Amino acid sequence: MDFGRNILRRTPSPLIIHPFFFAYLPLLTLSAHNIQEVRWELALRGIIPLWVIALIALFVGYKLFRDWHRAGLVCSFGFLLFFAYGHIYLGLSFSFIQKISSQLGLIGNHSILLVLCSVLMILVIFISVRVRVMMKTITSLLNIAGLAAMLFPIINIINFEFQLNKSTSESDTIQFASAPVSNDVFQEPDIYYIILDGY
């Protein structure tokens, strides 16, 4: 048991970058989803404010827990819960769970759903405080999960830009090929006069 703890202590501490991934992920996903209506470059405007918020939340979490890994875990889960709240609320109105959610009073009642989300957040904080050994591993897994989640909308944006550039180049080629080519631009046209004099 002591040997395992010594190995975990000797392993290098991973960088805590997943809160920045999960803070920016909703805006990037929204931009990739609506890329045909809004240019994806507009989503870059929100990267600095969201990362500043993530940095402040991380420092506040460190002041509370005195551990960067626990602070990162709580921050990432907080961002996910905050940005997923609307999807959770709309998901409760699906037909197959509408009966259950209406009986529990969740539909149209934000107060109950806010209480449930608060309980979930407190549970994650409690787990992060109680867990003492696996925090480095959890941080590494969250870094990988955050990076993988960021890759999906980035791939969609790159694919859209590739298809857009391809279609633009094809349309330019078609217009160039269909343009009439004349050896002498200033050549005068032939004019014929038809005179009907058989009356």
pLDDT at 99: 59
Confidence tier at 197 by pLDDT (50, 70, 90): confident
Q: At what angle do helices 18-33 and 135-178 cross, to 10 degrees?
A: 30
DSSP summary character for residue 33: H
How does residue 93 score in pLDDT terms, banded at 50, 70 and 90? low
Tell me the average pLDDT across 150-172: 80
Beta strands in the chain (DSSP E): none
pLDDT at residue 195 greater than cutoff 50: yes
Which of the four pLDDT bands, split at 50, 70 and 90, describes residue 30? confident
Answer with the residue of higher pLDDT: 187 or 135.
Answer: 135
Q: Is the pLDDT of residue 72 over 50?
A: yes
- If you average pLDDT over every residue of the chain, what do you get? 77
* pLDDT > 70? residue 141: yes
Q: What is the number of H-type helices and E-type strands within the chain?
A: 7, 0
Instruction: Using the predicted structure, report yes or no on whether residue 20 has a pLDDT greater than 60.
Output: yes
